[in-house]
């Protein structure tokens, strides 16, 4: 088991290094992302112009840290009240998001592969892996680490089922992978890896987080939740 953990951690580190390298390369999709951000800002303005700021609306803005801060401030100014204020992972987990917005960041929701508040509720075997990862690499576990470790767990499980380096045998072993959160030491995010008929991970479950009292806490799934979600949030005119 310790050998599997070591191999999984090394593979995860390699994956993270590749991810960082790829992220630094220019990507044509940046143009598309910027267009989507602009569309989000225009959506906020449209709601105000159309006189829809008096009733809660579902949805939420799209943006990275800087965009997310600007959009949140615009929503407060325009009194745009949402049933659920849902961001992608880019903005809310960043310490500068809450650092700039303070209480105005409260009630924002986002989904993550990992957030530090999950650690206290992890199964013992997963908590041990988090501790070993931090000790080995002298860095804290990050969002992508959770996904990387699950990928490593799947690869370790597949490799343990074959006796050769035959490509076809490896693919068949990967297709039959079934690793479970709380049982495999490399799986630190819910709830493991098992492919369905579409080759999607049927066990995947992101951690749903919400900023409450300026802290990003897990509100789902219940196995890892440290607070109940606040939906809908208080309207802007009722916040302190």
Task: Report yes or no on 240 lying in a domain.
Answer: no
Task: Report yes or no on 239 lying in a domain.
Answer: no
Task: Report yes or no on 76 lying in a domain.
Answer: yes
pLDDT of residue 55: 43
Q: Can you give the residue range of the structural domain that contains 85?
A: 1-234
Sequence-separated (6 or more) residues with CB below 8 Å from residue 110:
86, 87, 88, 89, 91, 92, 93, 208, 209
Task: Report yes or no on 68 lying in a domain.
Answer: yes
Cis omega before residue 191 (within 30°)? yes
Q: What does residue 129 show for φ and ψ, rounded to 5 degrees?
A: -65, -40
Is the per-residue pLDDT at 61 higher than 80?
A: no
Q: Is 81 exposed, middle or buried (0-12, 13-18, 19+ CB in 10 A)?
A: buried
Task: Report yes or no on 32 lying in a domain.
Answer: yes
**Number of domains within the chain:** 1
How do residues 66-83 score in pLDDT, each as one tens digit?
778 888 888 898 888 988
How do residues 135-187 score in pLDDT, each as one tens digit?
998 988 887 788 888 888 888 888 888 887 788 888 888 889 999 999 988 88
Task: Report yes or no on 147 lying in a domain.
Answer: yes
């Amino acid at each position: 088991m310790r050998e599997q953990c070591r191999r999984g951690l090394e593979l995860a580190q390699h994956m993270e290094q590749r991810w960082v390298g790829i992220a630094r390369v220019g990507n044509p999709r940046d143009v598309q992302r910027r267009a989507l951000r602009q569309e989000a800002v225009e959506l906020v303005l449209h709601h105000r112009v159309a006189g829809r700021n008096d009733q809660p609306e579902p949805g939420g803005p799209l943006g990275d840290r800087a965009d997310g801060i600007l959009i949140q401030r615009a929503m407060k100014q325009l009194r745009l009240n949402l049933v659920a204020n849902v961001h992608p992972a880019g903005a809310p987990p960043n310490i500068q998001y809450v650092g700039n917005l303070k209480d105005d960041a409260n009630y924002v929701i986002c989904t993550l592969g990992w957030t530090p508040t999950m650690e206290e509720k992890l199964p013992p075997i997963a908590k041990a892996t988090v501790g070993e990862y931090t000790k080995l690499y002298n860095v804290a576990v990050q969002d992508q680490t959770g996904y990387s470790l699950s990928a490593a767990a799947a690869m370790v499980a597949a490799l343990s089922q074959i006796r050769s380096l035959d490509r076809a045998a490896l693919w068949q072993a990967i297709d039959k992978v079934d690793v479970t959160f709380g049982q495999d030491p490399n799986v630190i995010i819910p709830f493991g890896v098992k492919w369905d008929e579409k080759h999607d991970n049927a066990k995947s479950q992101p951690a749903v987080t919400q900023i409450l009292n300026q802290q990003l806490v897990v509100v789902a799934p219940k196995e890892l939740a440290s607070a109940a979600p606040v939906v809908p949030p208080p309207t802007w005119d009722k916040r302190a």
